[in-house]
Copies of this chain bind each other. A is one copy, B any other.
Amino acid sequence: MEFFEVVEKRRSIRKYSDKKVPTEVMNKALDAALLAPNSSNLQTWQFHWVHSEQKKKNLAVACLSQGSAESAQELLVVSVRPSLWKKTSQDILSRGTPAGLEKLMQTYYGKLIPFLYGFQILAPFKWLIFNIVGILKPTPRKPWSLRDREEICIKSAALACQNFMLAITAQDFDTCPMEGFDESRIKKILNLKFSDRIVMVISVGERVDRGVWGERYRSPRDWFIHEI
């Protein structure tokens, strides 16, 4: 399907038909998700494709029994595991780096990333460094806290979510991103770690006629787009 047609067609669907979503459709969309850009290529994203009927039921309840979750053919929970940075940065370094970039990559993944993502005990000290050096010259002010690190991971995972949703639409199925859920319960259902965070739950299926809540509405464009 043509790109802009996909963007136009995608709507958040609150009720799905009984039509099954072929495995290939889900896999193709998951592959598209993994091609999203992400912060420092640390790939701290996690995609939980829930097949178990019991877990799907529990998930729908944890999504506050929204129609979109209850009638979904497939449910995908997207989460982040910030601590994955260790494994992925080692993986990136171990596969050999592009010619000419060896030293840069070693410094970046071997020193800068561990300083930014690790050593959480130094958090107040990092804050201090960023803000003192920042007086003198342009300096990133984050991440210094665990919450900053989470935020970066969540942002990258959201880019992947959008790829996933558009990829489902491009294959003539529909989605709905849900943020109204009980994060603690979902983490329990999926046996996730305390430090994991749920980004969103995405329901997948085929829309029924009354599956969309009215016409798409956006406030005036000039509230959001500023040319300066």
Contacts and interface: CB of A to CB of B under 8 A. Distances in A.
A162 interface: yes
A45 interface: yes
Contacts of A219: 43, 87-88, 91-92
A207 B182 CA distance: 43
A24 to B, nearest CB: 13
Nearest to A30: B225
Interface residues on A, range: 35 or more
A51 interface: yes
A203 interface: no
A16 B110 CA distance: 28
A49 B225 contact: yes
Contacts of A7: 32, 35, 163, 167
Given A141-B183, A228-B51, A218 B158 contact: no
Which of A1, A37, A140 has most chain B Cβ within 10 Å?
A37
Determine the main DSSP class of A at the interface with B: mixed
Interface in A6-29: 6-8, 10, 12, 28
A57 interface: no
A123 interface: no
Contacts of A36: 162
B134 A182 contact: yes
B152 A155 contact: no
A197 to B, nearest CB: 9
17 contacts: A2-B2, A3-B6, A3-B170, A4-B167, A34-B224, A35-B216, A43-B223, A50-B228, A101-B214, A142-B183, A151-B151, A151-B154, A154-B155, A154-B158, A155-B199, A155-B200, A159-B161
Interface of A: 1-4, 6-8, 10, 12, 28, 30-32, 34-37, 39, 41, 43, 45-52, 55, 61-65, 84, 87-88, 91-92, 95, 97-98, 101, 134, 138-142, 147, 150-152, 154-156, 158-159, 161-163, 165-167, 170, 176-177, 179-185, 190, 199-200, 213-219, 221, 223-228
